[in-house]
Structure 1
Amino acid sequence: MIEVRNLSKSYGDFRAVDDVSFVCQPGRVTGFLGPNGAGKSTAMRMITGLTRPSSGSATIGGAHYADIPNPATQVGVLLDASAQHGGRTGREVLTIGARAMGLPGSRVDEMLALVGLTPKEAKRRVRNYSLGMRQRLGIAHALLGDPKVLILDEPANGLDPAGIHWMRQLLREYANRGGTVMLSSHLLHEIQIIADDLIVIGHGRIVASGTKDELLRTAGTRVRAHDRAALLQALKSAGLEATEASDAITSPATPEQVGLAAAAAGVPLLELREADGAGLEAMFLQLTADDQRDLISSEGAQA
């Protein structure tokens, strides 16, 4: 189990992580989501002892990472697949890790087979690996000590579709055996498929947390009208948030709130229903709207 309590990190006047609290449970995959710069990586670095918190605490199995004996046998970590020594072979990277953990050499062969790196690939220098191969090697290293907890930052980055499918099955089976998985990724579709629980962070603060089913059930409202601009203005005038989708508008407000706002403005509606089918992407964009740098307003698009 991972327990984070009132965790904060400041760099001068900048608050990268601001009073964050959450729990990642055994037997479950927890998706840790947020836009670039939201504080995800800083939080994960504090959990794994790489960054000292300004305040608060983060424990794994009841202990701080630095206090865990032979921690790699308890916690598997992959925060940056490109941080591996480029001059070593893949086999050498895992062999050094196995020796440091006191593991037999046979464990190296087991992990190479598990992540699909062939004997020929294992003899190549890491500098000559593709990003996807480095990810596989990083996952092998994280699993080397047969840990109870996995903390992975963007592990699917660089993997092809078959590799993503393989990783999804690997993490699902790991959690089903009782392991705790904390997974950060920008591939929202993959998170929606694999995650049991979700934590969404924006501007260094938790903006939503709960089971995936709970959060997606409360994803808000889907609404359509012939006059989309008038509908957007009606929702804005009523103080309701709204996001334009391909053929509709979604809002974190309830259908009743949206319907009353449209009626008050005299905007006829073509569709009004709960956005339970909107999916994780719509929920993510709604919850982190104030933290997005790439959203284009309808006015800006027309300029």
Structure 2
Amino acid sequence: MFIMITVEHLTKRYGDYTAVNDVSFACKPGRVTGFLGPNGAGKSTTMRIIAGLTPPTSGTATIAGVNYRDIPNPATQVGVLLDASAQHAGRTGAEILRLSAMTMGLDLTRVDEVLAWVSLTPEEAGRRVRNYSLGMRQRLGIANALLANPKILMLDEPANGLDPAGIHWMRTLLREYADRGGTVLLSSHLLHEIEIIADDLIVIGQGRIVAQGAKDELLAGTGAHVKSTDDQTLGQALVDAGFAAHPAQGGGITVDAEPEQVGRIALDSRVSLIELRGGDNTNLEAMFLQLTEQTQREQPVNQGVVR
């Protein structure tokens, strides 16, 4: 039987600073949930709370209705990778996995199985972790998370340091894991990879959920796409009217307004339109930038005016 992660009204404060603010979501069995947000949005804090590493100020984060710390031998139920660099640099990869296996009461033959699964050779497994590349540390961390064949995987930026072949391997591994009924919570700044693999999306900004739901529904056509004889003037007018407007791939502007609203603004601005239509299925990057525009650490120049 596979299980789910449930987060309800989760808040974490550090003095006057609120890192996570009334966050609620669920990660379901058989699905990959992509957890997205700008730097400092609260993703890692939320995942640390779920994994029992950071206590919440209020709210709950449970696995099948139980706090992580109350699960017997929790690493056999939840595979966690939050920081690939947080591994003992003086031990070999194989030693780290054998210690984990012994701690969890697993047969040591499982170590060789997961090493092969993550494509770490016997020679690489025998090296000390201080001599590992970041990509190798990621593979070792994923191997550790998979060691007990857990029901849940929770991975924070697992593709860091992986080459394109490694990213493809990780994508395939997680997809197959979810297809067998596992629950996957995946945080990543590689939006293209999330767009390919995720079934559900959670977008967080400044500690608050700004959007969540099935990927196909969130990326369905919304807003409008417009081309004009003067996109800069129209873009400025749309921003001044309170709409998020961004340059569209292939030219024109995507905007979170209905076509009728865009038409009126273009008329008032005396800008002639070449094309105006409802939004197509958008990509994840466009949705992400639109939803997190007010919570980005790196704000666009000129308050987001299209150029």
Separation of aligned partners in 2, 1:283 and 1:52: 32
Shift, 1:156, TM fit? 0.3
Residue 39 of structure 1 is aligned with which of 42, 50, 64? 42
| 1:173–1:133 Cα change, 3 Å | same
Structure-1 residue corresponding to 2:266: 262
Aligned to 1:204: 207
Please give the TM-score of this superposition, normalised by the length of structure 2: 0.94
Tell me what 2:253 maps to. 249
Across the aligned residues of Structure 1 and Structure 2, the Cα RMSD in angstroms comes to 1.7
CA distance in 2, matches of 1:300, 1:261: 17
What are the superposed Cα offsets for residues 56-102 of structure 1, whole Å, 9 maximum, x if unpaired?
Answer: 00001111000000001100000000000000000000000000000
After TM superposition, the structure 1 stretch with the greater mean CA deviation from structure 2, 233-242 or 38-47, is: 233-242
Question: Does the 8 Å CA contact 1:219/1:282 hold for their aligned counterparts?
Answer: no
Relative to the length of structure 1, the TM-score reads 0.96
Q: Could you say which residue in structure 2 is the equivalent of 1:229?
A: 232
Matched, 1:121 2:121: no
Q: Distance in 2 between matches of 1:80 and 1:219?
A: 36
Distance verdict in 2 for CA 1:203–1:292, change over 3 Å:
same
3-state DSSP class of the match of 1:62?
coil
Name the CA distance, whole Å, in 2 between partners of 1:160 and 1:271. 40
Question: Is the aligned partner of 1:74 residue 2:77?
Answer: yes
Q: Which moved more, 1:183-192 or 1:233-242?
A: 233-242
User: What is the CA-CA distance between 1:299 and the residue it aligns to?
Assistant: 7.8
Cα deviation digits, residues 202-261 of structure 1 (max 9, x gap): 010000001000000144322221211220232134332222345222222222322232
**Closer, same or farther in 2 for the Cα pair 1:99/1:7, shift >3 Å?**
same
C-alpha separation between the residues in 2 aligned to 1:237 and 1:184? 33
1:59 aligns with 2:62: yes
Change in CA separation of 1:245 and 1:63 when aligned onto 2, cut-off 3 Å? same
Q: Distance in 1 between matches of 2:102 and 2:223?
A: 52
Change beyond 3 A, Cα 1:136–1:301: same
**Could you say which residue in structure 1 is the equivalent of 2:301?**
297
User: Is the contact made by 1:90 and 1:126 (CA closer than 8 Å) also made in structure 2?
Assistant: yes
Report the 3-state secondary structure (helix = DSSP H, G, I; strand = E; otherwise coil) of the residue aligned with 2:219.
helix
* Change over 3 Å in CA distance of 1:97–1:164 after alignment to 2: same
Cα drift, residue 274 of structure 1: 3.1
In structure 2, give the amino acid aligned to 1:4: V
Question: Which of residues 3, 17, 22 in structure 2 aligns to 1:19?
Answer: 22
| 2:169 counterpart letter in structure 1 | W
Deviations 1:4-30 (A, max 9, x none): 000000011111000000000000000
Relative to structure 1, the CA distance from residue 168 to residue 264 in structure 2 (aligned partners, 3 Å threshold; closer, same or farther) is same
Question: What is aligned with 1:178?
Answer: 181
1:273 maps to 277
Letter in 2 for 1:296: P
Percent identity between the two aligned chains: 68
Match of 2:31 among 28, 31, 53: 28
What is the alpha-carbon distance in structure 1 between the residues aligned to residue 213 and residue 247 of structure 2?
25
Equivalent residue letter for 1:238: A
What residue is the counterpart of 1:145 in the other structure?
148
